[in-house]
Amino acid sequence: MTGKKDTYPLQPPRERGTGRAIALAVVMHVLLGFFLYHGIHWQNSTPAGEEAELWTEVPDLSTPKPLPPPAPVAPAPPPPQTEDADIALQQQKRKQQEAAREAQLAEQQRIKQQQEADAKRQQQLAAQQAAQLAAQQKAAKLKQQQQQQEQQQQAAEKLKQQQQQQDALKKQQEEEQQQKQAKLDAQKKADAEKAAKAKAQADAQAKKLDAERRARIAQMQGSMGGGEGTSGNGLAKSGTGSGSGGNAATPGYADKVRRRVRPNIVWAGDTSGLETEIAVRCSPSGTLLSATVTRSSGNASWDDAALRAVQRSDPMPQDTDGKTPSSFKITLRPAG
């Protein structure tokens, strides 16, 4: 026994009752064949066929396993000769068919449930994706709206700043204009006051000189016994006249004054009825000290033109004695 075990270590041990098992198997196969034969001939109609799917586990072929020794084929037992065995076989067959049908229905139900679950998962996934996409679109739209609002606010602030700058510049310009206008008004006022003051002084001086001249003329007339004093005659044709006072002037001095003043008269207006008397005060050398309108013609423009003509005639001509009378009056009329 020890030598056999050492020689065949992989040989399975022998089992008892092998021959009896083979005999019983042969008897059962014979009985099964008998029942099948009588069952086929016993039925009058051909039974409808049934289909069944059998699921078996796929064997793991990764590692080869040793094959067991083939079992001895037992002979089929002889079929029983009773009708109960036939009925039992039919019932067993029907149960197998029903079990196969139930298994097929269960598999179909499982497949259907699996498909429904897959479809439900797909719907849920699609809904989640749609919700995510809607959320992203909403966030993008909200962000765009915020950007637009920020841009509008920036544009409004920029426009407001520009408007403020324009208002400040306009206000500054208005203030500068007001200051310039105030300065101009003040300057005009000062010039007007200065001119009025100068005119008042000139008028006072002219009145004083006129009073002095009249006093001297009266004194001369009194000393001459009331005779006619030396005076200038009006020259209507020439448009100028001259007179002298204070110191005596020669009869030809009036012509000298006329020839000096007449070219300086610039007048293009009406000439009828205009006559202006201007009092003149000069130095002995002929320098014009003052010229004042003592009797107006009623036309201020002509009075100004006559006064300018006298002022442009500076210095006045000298008399035959080489001196200019200190004061005299000139009567001017426009040439016409």
Which whole number is the average pLDDT over 206-214?
67
pLDDT at 135 over 90: yes
3-state secondary structure of 3: helix
- DSSP, residue by residue, 159-200: HHHHHHHHHHHHHHHHHHHHHHHHHHHHHHHHHHHHHHHHHH
In the chain, at which residue ranges do the beta strands (DSSP E only) sit? 234-235, 240-241, 276-282, 288-295, 327-332
144 band by pLDDT with thresholds 50, 70 and 90: very high
Map out the domains of the chain with their CATH numbers: 230-332 (3.30.1150.10)
pLDDT above 70 coverage of the chain, percent: 68
Token couple for 53: 């799917």
Q: What pTM value is reported for the model? A: 0.30
pLDDT for res 293 = 92
Describe the strand order of the beta sheet including 240-241 as a list of residue ranges. 234-235, 240-241, 327-332, 276-282, 288-295
pLDDT for res 224 = 38
Of 284 and 252, more confident: 284
Longest CA–CA span in the chain (Å) reads: 210
pLDDT for res 56 = 59
- DSSP, residue by residue, 228-280: PPP-PPEETTTTEE---BSS---TTHHHHHHHHHGGG----S--TT--EEEEE
**For 293-306, what is each residue's pLDDT tens digit?**
999 888 888 999 99
In angstroms, the CA 74 to CA 22 distance is 4
In angstroms, the CA 142 to CA 194 distance is 76
pLDDT for res 222 = 45
pLDDT at 227 over 80: no
8 Å CB contact between 247 and 284 = no
Which whole number is the average pLDDT over 20-33?
88
In angstroms, the CA 261 to CA 334 distance is 12
In angstroms, the CA 323 to CA 79 distance is 191
- CB-facing half-sphere around the CA of 186: CA atoms within 13 A: 6
**Any idea which of 37-46, 73-82, 130-139, 226-235 has the lowest mean pLDDT?**
226-235
Of 50 and 197, more confident: 197
Of 69 and 146, more confident: 146
pLDDT at 42 over 60: no
Which whole number is the average pLDDT over 165-181?
89
3-state secondary structure of 204: helix
pLDDT for res 270 = 79
Of 37 and 309, more confident: 309
In angstroms, the CA 118 to CA 113 distance is 8
Name residue 1's amino acid: M
115 band by pLDDT with thresholds 50, 70 and 90: very high
93 band by pLDDT with thresholds 50, 70 and 90: confident
**Any idea which of 98-102, 208-212, 304-308 has the lowest mean pLDDT?**
208-212
**Any idea which of 19-28, 58-67, 183-192 has the lowest mean pLDDT?**
58-67
pLDDT for res 253 = 85
DSSP code, position 247: S
Q: Using CA atoms of 214, 217, 218, 219 in order, give the dihedral in degrees to the nearest 10.
A: 120
pLDDT above 90 coverage of the chain, percent: 22
Token couple for 242: 């001259």
pLDDT for res 245 = 40
